[in-house]
Amino acid sequence: MGISISVAQILIIVAIIALFVWPYSRIFRKAGFSPWLGLLMVIPLVNIAMTFFLAFATWPALGPKQ
């Protein structure tokens, strides 16, 4: 009695992950960071840490603080 997942279920999971990662990738890119950091947002607890990172880090896109 194994667990079986259909192709449709896999496609739905991939679509949900893509819809979750895409906006964060754009946010990271606009802030001046690598858009690949958006992939970290699907990892539980890491997404909370990355939200704090975005909130308190100096954004390279804004330049140095004066």
Instruction: Show pLDDT as tens, one digit a residue, over the chain (66 residues).
Output: 678 889 999 999 999 999 989 999 999 999 999 999 999 999 999 999 999 999 999 889 887 765
Provide the Cα torsion 20, 21, 24, 29; round to 10°.
-160
pTM of the model: 0.77
> In this predicted structure, what is the pLDDT of residue 34?
94
User: CB-based contacts of 44: which residues, under 8 Å, 6+ apart?
Assistant: none
Determine phi and psi for 34, rounding to 5 degrees.
-65, 135
If you search the block for the tokens 């939200």, which residue do you land on? Answer: 51
Residue 13 CA, distance from chain mean position: 15
